[in-house]
Amino acid sequence: MHDQESPENLPDAPAPKPVADHPYAVLRNGDFARYLTGRFVATLGQQMLVVAIDWELYRRTHSALSLAFVGLSLMVPMILCTVPAGHFADTFNRKKIILAMTLLLAASSLCLALISYFAAPVFWIYFCLFVIGAARTFLWPASAAFVASLVPRRQFASAVTFNSAAFQFSCVVGPAAFGLVVALTPHAEENNTAWAVYVFNALASLLCFGLVAPIRHLHKVKPAEPVSARSLVEGFRFVYQNKIILGTLTLDLFAVLLGGAVTILPMFADDIFHAGAEGLGWLRNAMAVGAVLCAFLLAHRPPLQKAGQTMLWSVALFGLATVLFAVANPNSLGRWIALPSSSWFWLSFALLAVAGAVDNISVVVRQTLVQTLTPDEKRGRVSAVNSLFIGTSNELGGFRAGIVAYLFTTPTVLGNAHATGAIVSTLTGGLGSILVVLAVAWIWPEIRKLGKLV
């Protein structure tokens, strides 16, 4: 037998890891867990709705221009409502704003269901999108500031990571659920209608309302500043004076504006891979799959030690993956490399997954910086500016992608007309994203020097 060591000779036992440092500690917060579940359900419905609208519009019009106007319809109310939305989030009860906007989203979805079922003119789809864009503009800053008050500061980066993971997981499930609902809806494919998807989204919004309503934590509204031009634009002034926040938001705005190709994925699915609604669902899933995997990796790692450099490299890789996605198909590199069409499809899926993974890194860095560097009394207005940058980059990026695809919809050696437009739009956007990284790194050197995230 081996002699037992005496207590004084035993090595020191490692100190127990603080609960706050456990990767899943934030999920033990009941209010945050309830909010996270509600937002996941609502976002799942929204993801199904976005895919359904793109699918239905393209099937009814077969025009890239109709896809471009989706982004424009969502972006215009965002620009018009950002300033008042931020002021509302700092002046009124944030929970009540979230609940009211959730109900408005449910009502808009029911209107879309009626428009789709009766095959009303597509103008009314854009009208509903305008209302949805306005509701989302008021919802986002209130929601972002509300989360910051649900968890302690030391857990905020973890909360952002799980919030992002829930969003991205809804992006994974959403397109697949869209395809399933369309497949189960009688005559949906023949009539190019997705009314059942819109009904599902309305129900998801109502379920979110039911989950968020019981949350006990309320926003303690401080005495409101007098309504003036200065108080309304305080979020913009704060962002402009904080060079790190300004640089990170600018990086996200222009990188996604140029590199986003999600809006024209129906063109890749139909005109390049000939994969139909099922193929579109897989392509829409790809970036979210990569983002979810990245989010869980970040949750099990300590805070980023070189957050600035990591964010810059991640956006550069996003641009590179977009470039490769543009050319990795039978109508481009397929003319020189003999691969089955299915092989090209799954290679493209993998490239989009890589783009989603690296994009999620910049999302976590940006959202954590915006909330931790902003005083609570200004969080609503600064979050509104953040939402404007994010929403503008997504929606205006979709508009840009659709317009460029439309302008280059001409037969060339690359293949059919629609394939050419989609490839040129995505390729130029990916190259533009890489150039944006170089410009931001040069203009705001503070970002390159940014160290530990929290």
Percentage of the residues of the chain whose pLDDT score is greater than 70: 84
Q: For residue range 170-195, what is the model confidence (pLDDT) as tens digits? A: 877 887 788 788 888 887 666 667 88
pLDDT at position 316 is 93
Give the Cα separation of 88 and 82 in Å (integer): 10
Enumerate residue ranges in the chain where pLDDT < 70. 1-23, 188-192, 217-232, 277, 303-304, 334-335, 338-341, 391, 410-418, 452-454
pLDDT at position 229 is 53
pLDDT at position 439 is 93
Tokens for 446, please give them: 């503070």
pLDDT at position 22 is 65
pLDDT at position 334 is 62
Q: For residue range 298-355, what is the model confidence (pLDDT) as tens digits? A: 777 776 678 788 889 999 999 999 999 988 887 777 667 766 667 888 999 999 999 9
Question: CA-CA distances (angstroms) from residue 43 to 2, 39, 50, 165, 200?
Answer: 60, 6, 10, 12, 12
Among residues 85, 86, 80, the alpha carbon closest in space to that of 382 is found at 86
The domain ranges of the chain are 23-218+227-448
pLDDT at position 89 is 83
CATH (residue range 23-218+227-448): 1.20.1250.20
Block residue for tokens 């309320």: 218
Tally the C-alpha atoms within 13 A of residue 47's C-alpha that lie toward its C-beta.
26
pLDDT at position 13 is 42
pLDDT at position 353 is 92
pLDDT at position 204 is 95
pLDDT at position 264 is 83
